[in-house]
A and B are shown apart, each in its own frame.
Chain A
Amino acid sequence: MVIEIAKPRPLWQILFSTHHTDVALLYLITSIVFFMLGGALALTIRTELLTPGTTMIGDADLFNRIFTVHGTTMLFLWILPFISGVGNYLIPILVKYKDMAYPRLNAVAYWMAVPGAALIWLGWSDTSWMAYPPYSTMRAAGPAADMWIFGLKILGLSSILGAINFIVTILKCKHPDLPMMKTSLLVWAILVTSMMTLAALPTFTAALIMLYTDRLGVSGFFDPARGGDPIAYQHLFWFTFHPEVYIFLLPAVGMAYELIPKFSRKPIFSYGSGVIAFLVLSIIGFASWAHHMLATGLTFTEKTVFMVGTLAAVPMSAMHVFNWMATMWGGRIKFAAPMKFVIGGIMLFFTSGAGGVVNTTLPLDFITHDTYWVVGHFHMMLMGTVSFIFMGFLYYMFPLITGRMYSERLANVHFWFAFIGTAVVFTAMHIVGLYGMPRRIWDYVPDPTIIALNQIASIGAYLIGIGMIAFLIVLIRDSIKGKPADMRDPFGIGEIYYDYRRREPHH
């Protein structure tokens, strides 16, 4: 066992290990800690917005810093490390290799994330997670904004190292008797996202350097007074971060493919269409970045091109959803916690997907852009779909990691509070956005409808908060004294669980 509490290993042995399960464990624990911290910031934001005027946070400056750190944390310190954690744990097992291809590089990639996280949390920047210039270059307070830039720089490098490691492990270290078309779709998901990371991230890496030299005053890439253009940054930024949306989403899709056939006790409806959807999306995902910039004054032709590029990505997601539903159709579904979270995630995926089509529809974008509609839309995806499937997958991996079983009852409490809360808070955000409430505001117009919708949203957020407390209790209590799991078949769905004996020896 990796953290078998009955036979504990000294902490330093895990910290300085290069074994894939140990690095994975560090990634997972780090990501969950930041998930909870980011969630606490989210609840602070929702409490402030409970009433117009000052509710909890004394001034707008602190509020601006809180939403910046919340966004940066959730994307780069929860979702990405969690993907690395699951990938590190399972990719070597799924491709039947003894470890990752470069174990030391793997540990280095993890340990780079630590100073990156520290810079973000100690700096407490107010640039928003997008850090658009000229605000971020000319007005944002240092050293917070500089620390944010360096933090993201380090996290980006860490992602690239991780991506290289995954690609080499999957393509070069896969067992010779295991053809690529027989591997789990989670392997495909990690492979595709790692390749997308390598293609997408360098642009943002360059943009960060330009941002920093602009801040130092030695260049004027984004300063119109010196011949630069602030919109250029947005192109560089979104060229990385629209594909990044799929980098967040596809591993969750892969995890859903891993869980749905097992818990439906049926084979996948169509493995081939899953692979095709992954591969096509990994290319089309690069053709839609400027849909985040439709209101910056693009020409009519540019807007049309990016609308078409965005709509073209929708059928791939629709194929995944069809595949899941057709797999579940007629199956003997076991509604354990992992399956509940996946089904909940798929239901919320419809909402965010339909909202995405509205956002890219040109005349409608001007109603939704930069309002709470958009906040509701991407949270429905990142919390409602990605984080839900992640949490479900964590329950699935729980026996593998701890050798113990989680409490299904408490996991059920977690699920229902989180599911209802998520549906309430982000639906209310969509609607309040249609009333014109801009995002990133500390105070809003005291209109009765807007106040009521904000209060409904805050209540939803508190429901999620209660669910998360249940989640924390399950994680801590049951990994210490949960019932020992039947390691061959912990969920009672047949002997298809991961081979836990492969984890020794550690090195």
Chain B
Amino acid sequence: MGSHVIYEWIYVGAVVSLLIWVGAEAWYGEKLLHEVPKDHITIKVTGQQWFWTFEHPDGKREVGTLHLQAGKVYKFEITGKDVIHAFNIPHFAIMIDAVPGRVNTIWVKIPEDAVGEYLIQCREYCGLLHYNMRANLIVEA
């Protein structure tokens, strides 16, 4: 038995190298996502039981519907009013918690050809109507 243990260490070495590669790629990808492009438009997002409120830079507020323009970069500043929610646009893989007392940010570049309607939903359990805490994202040309 004993002499074969070397195979186990070779295997462990292979697993470790694979994980280092995965970790390094993930770190690099996350670093790219971390830098918000300069020319962004900031949207303030507030989650509360059980609807979303959006505030545009010009002070215009929307409840339950968010109008964005294709081809632009948006930064969302997200907070929760009562309990923890999570702001999620599945189509654009946007997801971060809306925590009372904190402001979390995440950004997205809406592609030019993404005109249409998309789902915004809550992804952190927030009580009775969590399942129905949805909003509409309308991307305009």
Report if A326 contacts B (CB, 8 A): yes
Q: List the B residue with the shortest CB-CB distance to A437.
A: B90
Shortest C-beta distance, B82 to chain A (Å), equals 7
Report if A39 contacts B (CB, 8 A): no
Report if B124 contacts A (CB, 8 A): yes
Report if A224 contacts B (CB, 8 A): yes
Structural contact, B88 and A363, CB atoms closer than 8 A: no
* Known A-B contacts A134-B83, A319-B12; A270 and B119 likewise in contact (beta carbons under 8 Å): no
10 cross-chain pairs, A with B, having the tightest CB-CB distances, nearest first: A224-B101, A436-B90, A441-B131, A297-B104, A362-B30, A135-B83, A361-B26, A440-B125, A363-B29, A370-B123
* Known A-B contacts A270-B5, A296-B97; A135 and B15 likewise in contact (beta carbons under 8 Å): no
Structural contact, A224 and B119, CB atoms closer than 8 A: no
Residues of A within 8 A of B95 (CB): 295, 366-367, 369-370
- With beta carbons under 8 angstroms apart, the residue of B12, B16, B93 that contacts A366 is B93
Q: List the A residue with the shortest CB-CB distance to B106.
A: A366
In the complex, given contacts A273-B5, A296-B99, A323-B8, what are 6 additional A-B residue pairs having Cβ atoms less than 8 angstroms apart?
A140-B127, A230-B84, A269-B8, A326-B8, A369-B123, A436-B90
Complex Cα distance A296/B94, Å?
13
* Known A-B contacts A297-B104, A308-B23; A135 and B127 likewise in contact (beta carbons under 8 Å): yes
Residues of B within 8 A of A231 (CB): 99, 102
Residues of B within 8 A of A498 (CB): none
* Known A-B contacts A60-B129, A135-B125, A269-B1; A300 and B22 likewise in contact (beta carbons under 8 Å): no
Structural contact, A229 and B129, CB atoms closer than 8 A: no
Complex Cα distance A441/B125, Å?
8
Q: Chain A: residues with CB nearer than 8 A to chain B? A: 60-61, 64, 126, 128, 132-135, 138-140, 224-225, 228-231, 267, 269-270, 272-273, 295-297, 300, 303-304, 307-308, 311-312, 314-315, 318-319, 322-323, 326, 357, 360-364, 366-367, 369-371, 435-436, 438-445
Residues of A within 8 A of B23 (CB): 307-308, 311, 361
Q: Mark B80-112, 1 if CB is under 8 A from A, else 0.
A: 001110101011011111011110100000000
Q: List the B residue with the shortest CB-CB distance to A362.
A: B30
Residues of A within 8 A of B129 (CB): 60
Structural contact, A314 and B15, CB atoms closer than 8 A: yes
* Known A-B contacts A270-B1, A270-B8, A297-B102; A315 and B93 likewise in contact (beta carbons under 8 Å): no
Shortest C-beta distance, B32 to chain A (Å), equals 8
Residues of B within 8 A of A304 (CB): 27, 30
Structural contact, A267 and B128, CB atoms closer than 8 A: no
Structural contact, A364 and B26, CB atoms closer than 8 A: yes
Report if B49 contacts A (CB, 8 A): yes
Structural contact, B99 and A438, CB atoms closer than 8 A: no
Structural contact, B97 and A300, CB atoms closer than 8 A: no
Shortest C-beta distance, A439 to chain B (Å), equals 8
Structural contact, B26 and A295, CB atoms closer than 8 A: no
Residues of B within 8 A of A435 (CB): 90
A-B contact list, 27 entries, CB within 8 Å = A60-B129, A61-B128, A64-B125, A64-B130, A140-B127, A224-B100, A229-B101, A272-B5, A273-B8, A295-B96, A297-B99, A300-B31, A308-B23, A311-B19, A312-B19, A315-B12, A315-B19, A318-B15, A319-B8, A357-B19, A361-B22, A362-B26, A362-B29, A363-B30, A366-B94, A366-B96, A369-B95
Residues of A within 8 A of B91 (CB): 436
Structural contact, B22 and A357, CB atoms closer than 8 A: yes
Structural contact, B83 and A363, CB atoms closer than 8 A: no
Chain B residues 24-45 with CB under 8 Å of chain A are: 25-27, 29-31, 33-34
Shortest C-beta distance, A237 to chain B (Å), equals 13
Complex Cα distance A444/B123, Å?
12
Q: List the B residue with the shortest CB-CB distance to A271.
A: B1
Complex Cα distance A269/B124, Å?
44
* Known A-B contacts A60-B131, A304-B27, A307-B23; A322 and B100 likewise in contact (beta carbons under 8 Å): no
- With beta carbons under 8 angstroms apart, the residue of B4, B5, B49, B100 that contacts A230 is B100
Q: List the B residue with the shortest CB-CB distance to A308.
A: B23
Complex Cα distance A333/B127, Å?
50
